[in-house]
Chains A and B, each alone.
Chain A
Amino acid sequence: MALRLYAPATTETVLESILAEPSLARGVVHHETIAARPPTFAPFPDWLGPGIRQGLAGRGIDQLYVHQAEAIGAVHAGEDVVVVTPTASGKSLCYTIPILQAIADDPAARALLLFPTKALGQDQVAEMSELARASALDIRAATYDGDTPAPIRHAIRTAGQIVVSNPDMLHSAILPHHTKWYQLFEQLRVIVIDELHTYRGVFGSHVANVVRRLLRICAHYGSHPVIVCCSATIGNPAELASTLTGRPARLVDRNGAPSGERHVLLVDPPILDRSTGARGSALTLANRWALPFLRAGRQTIVFGRARTAVEILLTGLREALREGFGPRSRIRGYRGGYLPTERRSIERGLRDGEVLGVVATNALELGVDIGRLDAAILAGYPGSIAATWQQIGRAGRRLETSAAVLVASQSPVDQYVIHHPEFLFGGRPEEARLDPDNLHVLLAHLRAAAFELPFEPGQRWGPLPADDLLAFLAEEGHVRQAADGRWYWSSENFPASEISLRVAAPENVVIVDTTPDRPRVLGEVDLFSAQVLVHERAIYIHESMQYYVDRLDWGEKKAYVHKVDVDHYTYANRAVTLKPLDVFGEAPATGGRRLHGEVMVASLVTLFKKLKFGTDENVGWGPIDLPELELQTTAYWLTAETTSGGWRRADLDVALLGAGRAIQTVAAVLLMVDPRDLGLVAQVRSPHQEHPTIYLYEAVPGGIGLSERLWDRHDELVTAADDLIAACTCDAGCPACTGPRLEPEVDAKALSRRLLAGLRP
């Protein structure tokens, strides 16, 4: 019996046997088969030197895939490109080859590679150095990041031909000291921005401004580097690249890499309770799907969404495999917090087959090279279609069949995604948005830019000449216009140190953990979130540990917490008032109007509730004494004009909130953002609109351009929201569609659908 259980089998056989097992097959809501694809090759370009040809041949590469050839040709010709192809399609060669050739032709040439994380940069240096050695080229490539020891920093500055860094380091250490890097900037030929799709939202808006500063410095030294962006599949790669760099880029997306047949299955855990919509655990189900593959000796990766999920999945798998004397020691975990050497050994093990299964967080989602596996099981929707495809892409042999399984959790977004397979397979992944002209971000980086180089009068910063903005900064004494009309930095401060690329608001509340003997900083939250997350007596959850907030020092912007283990969490009621300031766009829509523009959101938090885990039962409450906060941001809103007659006010309240909640969920899916990035306000009698209105505002000061996109896609949003509520299996509204039910006797589902019916195009 045991022997048969562990008999090696092909992926197809395993899949067939699983689908023959009713308890598992029942949950499959969609099964998509993606046909195998042969490779399309292109020859090496003529200009490629014999050395690099030889180096490539030594690694088994005698010709290029078409996308590689196209990108390499464009870079060589000085054209910006953005390369968009799936995981493990040889993207890095697209820039490695032209860079190595450029340096082989002229040793003075330099290249700058930016990766969003340090680990990716270090991998890339190792890979480039290997190819350079194989090509008999003497090339000095090095990472320059926070871990680079001081003594070798000088050597990298003066002699590093390929400098690998990250946007944060570029922002805070390289650009403000660009004169020490003049050899790099004078001869910079290629800038690589890898993992482009990670530069979205506030982070992306910051990085776009860092790129502006970078290009300004290059222009100062007289260099005109080509920019190569590489991205995972997203809806708008070319647009994202051109927003990020401020220059148009040629899109290279004709994938030439081969792939075998691939099965993608969407799986829903069984419903346990119809009235609340509660479902079985996604983690347990994911393990049940993973086990048959592992037992058949197929290399399998299981993705969990958080560290704890990884540990739970890993324990479960090992436990199950031990019962049947399976290959449990060949199952490894992989997540943030593991040591780099440990990670490297797991990656190597996956490549050479020594490791059979791995349970990972999205730490493995980015470009880490682990080769290709047979099966990928996703325990929960990773939050975006692009990320889903990245994780699915981990399974996919060049010739053999592979399988990917997405097991939904009961969160509304997960449920929406698996019940609308067209979102995953419809060929329209989300768009990544960023707004380089967010006034707050723009001003912050303008200060840093003025520190780096004086501004000429009339010189542009973003869309406009910078003079108006500089005049504003001059009033605060940061810059001054000198006798030659230029604007010079005139302050003792170091502006780059005041900007963190990863958060929007300049002011943050620092969370201090007082549990250990030496208090340590746990993290930071912006003021707006601090109101609801770290008010006094709140339970703050960080990496699935619970912390009790002892004291919130609003003046010092510090929250003091200590670790606890309780059965409840806290939920703070935010009373939000919203006032439109300026309308940027307005158009009629079915049943009303759609608008977007600038708004002022005032947020007051007055009390919090204690809710039991699992049941969300209210077990107590307390007051919160914090000042009101104002947030000036952008918003999208819609009014219901023709439909508002004949409604009872209380019903309309419920309907607006329910429909708004559904639109918010759908918007988060469509725009590839965290649902918390969008705030919801519903007003029955809007003091500003006269009609019932639903506002979705951006939770970031100034916004990052989400509102305008929502405005553009209004019809889609309303339709999808209606579908979401209709398709939900609950009786009268649940957290997955119309939000938590406030009054049990009210049918939020019916009311919301009635409202949306009138708005649906």
Chain B
Amino acid sequence: MTAAALPAIGDERERLLRRIADLRARHASVGMPGPAAVSAAAPAGLIDLGRRRAARYAEALATAVDGDVVETPRGRVVRVDRPSIAMAVDRSALASLPGQPPPDVPLVCLDTETTGLGTGTGTVAFLVGLGWWSGDRFRQAQLVLPDHADEPALLEAVRSALPDRAWLVTYNGRGFDWPLLVTRFRLGLSAPPALGGHLDLLPVVRALFRHRLTDARLRTVEAELLRLGRVGDVDGWEIPARYLGFLRDGNAGGLVEVIRHNHEDVRTLARLLVHLSTGLAARSRSPFVDPRDLAALGRALARAGRLDEAISCLEDAAAGIGAVRDERTPSAARPAAPAEPWWSPRVAADIGGPPRPTATSEDPARRGATAWTADRVDRERARVLRQAGRFAESAAAWRGVALAGGRAGALAWIEVAKLEEHRLRDPAAALEAVERAVAAGALLRARGLPIRGLDQDAARRRRRLLARLERRRLRGARPRGVADC
């Protein structure tokens, strides 16, 4: 249907066109040459023109990025395949880590490049990088969208790349890549493919390696964890403009670096899996595993409810940290931390974009909370022991922590008191622990570091414990039979 076919609105269209011309004149300073005004009167011819142009652009894109134009009934996709490389992942070792996929499901690594950072319906995933294993070989393919109109073809290609029961492996894919693709499928009124599961490595990296990363960006992880560097990489925030530029003028030169960037990102997902499965999964005291990573793993295992494994992991970590304590204190090993650590909920997630100003001041208290010091590992172990119901061991562990003194020591005595009173049923030992906590607290207060609420808490415990000891003394003094009547 065209405007010309509707004479009733001819006048109105006239007026509208005049007003648009007016607007144009006033916006002239914006000055983008742009295509000549398109008339709706002859869309058929234009669409034909558009089709031919799109075919030309697709060819240019394929040539530039060394890929092939794949024609399908639903549109074209430019597909880039690379030779496979050897990259073995010990799947059963990987599966032994908390939250990891079972050993027998297919894994598909996925990373998208998009026309914007939002997940609204106007953001398009124009490049989908995929990676999967056949045996010990890791294969990669990239699907590039040559024109908006070809999106159905791209989405079909993504769908067929995801076998049944496949687990997706992504980095921040739960929050971004996958919802975005789901949106694209829904927009085309088709159901998104069903996944067997989704392994988002961002939270995994956060849980295990937070203590030695400056931020959580994939490139930082590559540099600081995998010890890899990239040369000539494109910054994430530049990517949308490069693609939109290609759509305008057909010049695909700017996309070559984008393709390489995405290729590296997908490969890094595989490398991360290798890192996890060979290093941590072995859980050995090998010199190649940072004992602090083991500590983080212990915590993660405890959270997954695998308490015995967690305890042994923490014990390994404690031993490892003890061995290196002298030469590698955490504060010396780490670069200056920003005022707010990157994982704090008050800090916006940093997943790329133009560099932000960094704060210079340090907050040692905060950093202390994340660094896996020997003391912190001991505390974690004591906590997990109690969680596992091994109360006597837990009490012993807390006593160990308490000996180190300081604030943590005072609080550790309270933990001992709780265990002795409620679990081990030894009010006398509990009372002693309370007194020690009070003494430690008094020392701290003298140094100007009072612990709020400690004395009140201790007083309450003391009263209760004294009463219990008194009752027990009275009961012990009388013959049992008498007490019964």
A residues within 8 Å of B by Cβ? 176-180, 182, 220-221, 439, 450-454, 457-458, 463-465, 467-472, 474-477, 480-486, 488-496, 582, 584, 598, 632
Contacts and interface: CB of A to CB of B under 8 A. Distances in A.
Given A450-B122, A482-B54, A490 B247 contact: yes
B32 A475 contact: yes
Contact of A485 (B35, B47, B241): B47
A391 to B, nearest CB: 40
B54 A483 contact: yes
Contacts of B256: none
B34 A482 contact: no
25 contacts: A176-B120, A177-B121, A178-B121, A179-B183, A439-B16, A452-B122, A454-B148, A458-B1, A458-B43, A464-B16, A471-B38, A472-B24, A474-B38, A475-B34, A480-B247, A482-B50, A482-B147, A482-B148, A483-B47, A483-B149, A484-B148, A486-B149, A491-B116, A492-B241, A598-B19
Contact of A480 (B1, B27, B148, B186): B148
B46 interface: yes
Contacts, number: 152
A182 B179 CA distance: 13
B9 interface: yes
A476 B30 CA distance: 8
Nearest to A483: B54
Interface in B110-165: 115-122, 124, 147-150
A477 B32 contact: yes
B182 A467 contact: no
Interface string B23-55: 110010010101101111001001100110111
A469 B39 CA distance: 10
Nearest to B35: A474
B470 interface: no
Contacts of A496: 120
Contact of A492 (B115, B119, B189): B115
B120 A451 contact: yes
Contacts of A470: 38
Given A451-B121, A492-B117, 5 more contacts: A439-B19, A452-B121, A475-B35, A482-B50, A482-B54
B121 A176 contact: yes
B181 to A, nearest CB: 11
Contacts of B150: 483
A453 B124 CA distance: 12
Nearest to A496: B120
Q: 10 nearest interchain CB pairs?
A: A451-B122, A483-B54, A467-B40, A484-B149, A179-B186, A485-B47, A475-B34, A489-B122, A482-B148, A488-B148
A178 B186 CA distance: 9
A485 B121 contact: no
A198 B39 CA distance: 38
Contact of A472 (B12, B20, B118, B120): B20
A494 B186 CA distance: 19
A458 B12 CA distance: 16
B184 to A, nearest CB: 8
B1 A465 contact: yes
Interface string B187-226: 1010000000000000000000000000000000000000
B22 A632 contact: yes
Nearest to A447: B122
Interface string B360-395: 000000000000000000000000000000000000
Contacts of A582: 15, 18
A481 B38 CA distance: 9
Contacts of B244: 477, 490-492
B20 A477 contact: no
A485 B46 contact: yes
B358 interface: no
Nearest to B146: A483
Q: How would you classify the secondary structure of chain B's contact residues: helix, strand, loop or mixed?
A: helix
Nearest to B1: A458
Given A477-B32, A477-B34, A464 B12 contact: yes
B116 A492 contact: yes
B336 interface: no
Nearest to A439: B19
B3 interface: yes
Q: How would you classify the secondary structure of chain A's contact residues: helix, strand, loop or mixed?
A: mixed
Nearest to B43: A457
Contacts of B472: none
Given A475-B34, A490-B148, A582-B18, A458 B121 contact: no
A480 B20 contact: no
B230 interface: no
A464 B148 CA distance: 24
Contacts of B35: 471, 474-475
A472 B23 contact: yes
Contacts of B148: 454, 480, 482-484, 486, 488, 490
A504 to B, nearest CB: 15
A557 B241 CA distance: 28
Contacts of A182: 186
B248 interface: yes
B43 A485 contact: yes
Given A457-B40, A468-B40, A485-B47, A494 B12 contact: no
B47 A457 contact: yes
Contacts of A477: 32, 34, 244, 248
Contacts of B55: 483
B53 A483 contact: yes
Contacts of B1: 458, 465
A453 B187 CA distance: 8
Interface in B229-255: 240-241, 244, 247-248
A489 B20 CA distance: 20
A468 B13 contact: yes
A731 to B, nearest CB: 47
Nearest to A177: B120
B2 interface: yes
B17 interface: yes
A494 B118 contact: yes
B149 A482 contact: yes
Given A176-B122, A464-B16, A632-B22, A476 B32 contact: yes
A501 to B, nearest CB: 17
Contacts of B53: 483
Given A477-B34, A482-B147, A483-B149, A179 B121 contact: yes
A471 to B, nearest CB: 4
A495 B247 CA distance: 20
Contacts of A176: 118, 120-122
Given A179-B183, A468-B16, A494 B122 contact: yes
Contacts of A485: 43, 46-47, 50
A108 B47 CA distance: 40
B74 to A, nearest CB: 11
Contacts of A177: 119-121, 183
Contacts of B51: 483-484
B183 A480 contact: no
A755 to B, nearest CB: 33
Most buried by B among A450, A465, A486: A465
Contacts of A489: 122
Contacts of B43: 457-458, 467, 485
A499 to B, nearest CB: 14
A489 B124 CA distance: 9
A464 B3 contact: yes
Given A464-B12, A632-B22, A494 B38 contact: no
A458 B40 contact: yes
Contacts of B182: 179
Contacts of B19: 439, 598
B122 A463 contact: no
Contacts of B46: 481, 485
Contacts of B47: 457, 483-485
A492 B34 CA distance: 18
A628 to B, nearest CB: 14
Contacts of A220: 189
